[in-house]
Amino acid sequence: MAEKFRNKYRVQTTRLFGYDYTRNGAYFITICTKKHICYFGDIEVETGLRPVSTNNKIDINNKNITNLRHSHDFQNNNARIKLTDAGKIISDCWFDLPNHYLNIILDEFIVMPNHIHGIIFIQNYACKQQPHGLSEFVRAFKSFSARRINEFRKSNLEGIWQPRFYDHIIRSDNELDRIRTYIRNNPNNWLNDENYIDINNM
């Protein structure tokens, strides 16, 4: 929902008021490109593609969660996303986050043509430094990825990402499984996705 601020529309924050986003837990996030421009790839429909799964059968209170393997291969059933070079950079920057933050663990993730979905676990059990939270992770991811894309293109493309992002606090194992399934099925549901843009009609 948008509201007016100084006669201009702005997007209301999705942050839960008063919640500490550095707390241990599981978080589902969605980050969209500015104006929903499809920088990151195209959805291809084929037959015989193998489903991709994390195979991480874990619960949200497990202290021994490991990071999801790094891959540029996002496919499920008969749909897959063919990443552009920018899309591959996005994937690389996402999976690089644990190298910068000791309390982040990555779970299910997908790059779509104009947005990403991901599940992040925050675990501060063994973190001796000041713990970082969700907003810092997203800020770093946006900054790292935009800079690397500009370096690759030898350009200064501003505003790749929307200024805000969507988050949801995952509170149960059942909810975690549902969100994982939603992320995996994103390529199959692209034509019905609220972020879908038909580039032929632009």
pLDDT tens digits, residue range 19-64?
Answer: 889 999 999 999 999 999 999 999 887 644 333 333 343 454 555 5
Question: What b/e readout covers 65-93, taking b as 16+ CB neighbours within 10 angstroms?
Answer: beebeeeeebbbbebbbebbebbebbbeb
> Is a pLDDT exceeding 60 seen at residue 76?
no
What pLDDT is recorded for position 75?
53
In a domain, 13, yes or no: no
Kind of pairing between the strands at 41-45 and 25-32: unpaired
The pLDDT of residue 46: 65
Does 1 reside within a domain?
no
Structural domain boundaries enclosing 49: 26-55+63-197
pLDDT at 127 over 90: no
Q: What is the CATH number of the domain that holds 86?
A: 3.30.70.1290
Residue 21 domain-assigned? no
Tokens 């990071």, residue located: 67
Integer-rounded Cα Rg, in Å, for the chain is: 17
Lowest mean pLDDT among 12-16, 75-79, 178-182: 12-16
pLDDT of 92 over the 60 cut = yes
- Beta-carbon neighbour count of residue 99 at 10 Å? 8
Above 90 in pLDDT, residue 189?
no
pLDDT of residue 79: 82
pLDDT digits (tens, 9 = 90+) for 128-155: 777 889 999 999 999 999 999 999 988 8
The secondary element (H helix, E strand) that includes residue 8 is: strand 8-11
- Residue of 184, 185, 187 lying closest to 107 (CA atoms): 184
Select from 177, 41, 196 the least CA-distant residue to 108.
Answer: 177
Number of independent structural domains in the chain = 1
Q: What is the DSSP string of 82-127?
A: EE-HHHHHHHHHHHHGGGT-TTEEEEEEEE-SSEEEEEEEE--TT-
| 138 domain residue, yes or no | yes
Residue with tokens 């969700």: 134
Query: For residue 156, what pLDDT is reported?
Result: 76
CA distance 68 to 107: 5
Is residue 86 domain-resident? yes
Predicted structure pTM score? 0.76
Residue that wins the pLDDT comparison between 195 and 131: 131
DSSP annotation of 30: E
Q: What is the mean pLDDT of residues 86-100?
A: 95
Give residue 80's pLDDT: 85
Res. 1: pLDDT tops 60: no
The chain-wide mean pLDDT, for the chain, equals: 79
Look at residue 84 and tell me if it is in a domain. yes
Q: What is the residue whose two structure tokens read 């200024």?
A: 163
8 Å CB contact between 54 and 108: yes
Pairing state between β 25-32 and 74-76: unpaired
C-alpha to C-alpha distance for 137 and 122, rounded to whole angstroms: 10
Strand partners, 4: 9
- Is 141 a domain residue? yes
| 150 lies in some domain | yes
